[in-house]
Every structure is written in structure tokens, then in C-alpha cells.
Amino acid sequence: MLINNPSNNYNLVDLTSAVRNIPIQYGTFNTMGIFSEEGVASDTVMFEESTQNGALIVDRVRGEKNTVGQDGTRKMHSFVIPHFPHDEYISPKDLKNVSAYDDFSETEQLAKVREKKLFRARQNHDWTLNKARAQALFSATVYAPSGTVSQNWNTEFGVSRTAVDFLLGTSTTEILAKIETVIAAIYDGMAGENYNGIVVPCDTAFFNALIIHPLVKEAYKYAQANQAGLDPMRGRLAAGGSPLPNGREFYFGGLTFKEVRDAYNGTKIVTASEGVAVPTGSDMFKTYFSSAERFGLVNTQGEMMYAFEQSAPNGTKITIETESNHASALLRPQAVVRCYTSN
């Protein structure tokens, strides 16, 4: 779709379709499938929380007054979606006397420079989404580091998070018993909602302490031998088959423990020595995307990312304006369980 500037019909070009063709720069939380995605037309999301009341029916003497059903409770929730704008620039010096990356006999072409800039923008937006999803799970808050939005899902729903201390530094700790506590808390927290598994994204320190625990070590060695065909790197492939290590996985006691090594500018995106247990295959964890701040996109369903190109009237630069607008919501925050070790 082409969106024109009213003062110059050739000044603004929509590059969003081009961005869609750039592969997603995956992070761990963008690949786990925990969050479903929904585009919305407004910067504010509203949804209804309903509680259905039920009871066991008691017997009555025939002719006596029957028991009567009670309607459930209904409560409206709303929250604002943060705005994440990011610009890239192309100047004449990006092309002048600069050889192409793949052919040093050619001059760098504008199309290739544009592609490089779009790739970097896509990477930054995807990394931001990955961080936002991690923060939602580990701290139950919406990612908005500048403070434009403040949202805590535990506070919103009036719940508290269950925490299970695995005591991995104690050799006699019954790890399976700890896992059963996690499973029970998630089952209760989901309150009848469907899910098909439980994954525990966790810090490397927690994962290491788990797999060397005396009551777990042999199970991990057996799992690795069967999972990776004795190839220790096979089980660590990143999304898309990249050979770069992207964390180990270990299925034990009904939980899939997933090591998270993602870090940006040297800072990890997960809490040190901790993990969170999250049910998978449900619609209770959702990322909402709102539309771009453009007249031509008002009241349209939001997309993951937008990009627009605008040329300066004096021909000195080309601006690539990108934005994403998203919030990752926990609609059953009580179903996320903190897993940690105090020793």
C-alpha cells in the first residue's frame, strides 16, 4: 500500500510489505509459542473477565423448593499499548565511493543500502518484542522502559504469583515433588482453561544447578543421549536451524526446562538463577499489536511492524521511519509460577 504525503505525492512510501519479507530475527521467547498474537485497531485494549459460578446440586424432598443457579461475575479491564518508534537514515555518503559488500567492483546500490537498514530495524524491533515477552513472564509487567505505560498483570487481576524454591543446592531435595507443586499451581491457576504442556524458560545458572543435582543427573544424561543422538550440539540449534547455540532443553517430570541465554548489550533478559513455569497451548498469554500512527492506517488492524520511507525535499537524506506497537498480556497471571533456588 502506498501512503502519500498531502504536500508531495511522491514523498512517502510504505515499506511495510518489504519488512514482512525479511525473516524474523528470532529470540527465545519469540519462538516458544507461549504468546498468541492479535492485531487491534486502537491504542487501548479492553477485554472482559468473567467468572462462571457453579455448585454441586443437593437433593431435596419432592415438592420442596429447588436450588437456584447464580450468575457469574463480570469485570472490564483495559490497558494502553506502548509505542516503539525507530528511524534509520540513508545519506549520499552511504553510497558515494563505497563498494558493495558482495562485489568490491561495484558501487553500493541504494536498494542494497535500504535492505541493510531495514534488516537492522527489523532486528531491533524483534529483539524488543522478545524482551517485552520475557519481562511479561518474569515480572508480570508491560515493557515500557521510558515509563509511558505502567501495567502490572498481578495487580490488574488482584492475584499473587506462586513461588517454588527448588533448593537445588541440597542433595536430598526431592525435585519431582517440587515439580508436582509447580504443576498443581498451574492447574489451579488456569481454572479450567485448556493447555497442552508446561515450559520453564530459565537462566543458565538455574539450568546448570538442575541438571547436576544428584537426583536429576542420570536422567539428564539419558535424555541427552536420546534427544541428540549423542551429538551435544544438535539439541542447541537456534530457530531456523542456525548452528549458533540457543540454549539447552530438558524434559523432566512433566516440565520442559528451556535454558535462555538471550542478552542485549551484555544484560540478560531473564532473572539470574530463576525460571518461570508457563502453560503452553492456551490463549491466556497474548501479544496485542496496534496500528501505526498514520492517517491511512487509522482504525485498521495492527501489524507486527511498520516501515515508511521519506525523502528530504533538498535531496540530502532518505529517512526510513519504522514503528511497532505492542503489549504482551498475561490474562491468567496466576498460572505463571516462579521457579528459583535459594541455595
pLDDT of residue 67: 75
**Reduced 3-state DSSP string for 132-162:** HHHHHHHHCECCCCCCCCCCEHHHHHCCCCC
Q: What is the mean pLDDT of residues 103-128?
A: 83
CA-CA-CA-CA dihedral for 96, 98, 103, 108, to nearest 10: -40
- More confident of the two residues 91 and 68: 91
- C-alpha closest to that of 324 among 131, 149, 126: 126
- Residue 48 — very low, low, confident or very high, per pLDDT cuts 50/70/90? confident
Per-chain mean pLDDT for the chain: 86
pLDDT at 241: 46
Mean pLDDT of 290-318: 92
* 192-248 pLDDT tens trace: 999 999 999 999 999 999 999 999 999 999 888 776 544 544 555 554 444 444 689
Distances, alpha carbon 102 to alpha carbons 95, 96, 105, 112, in Å: 14, 16, 9, 10
* pLDDT for 225: 77
pLDDT of residue 111: 85
Reduced to 3 states, what is the DSSP secondary structure of residue 4?
coil
* 123-182: pLDDT as tens digits: 999 999 999 999 999 999 999 999 999 999 999 999 999 999 999 999 999 999 999 999
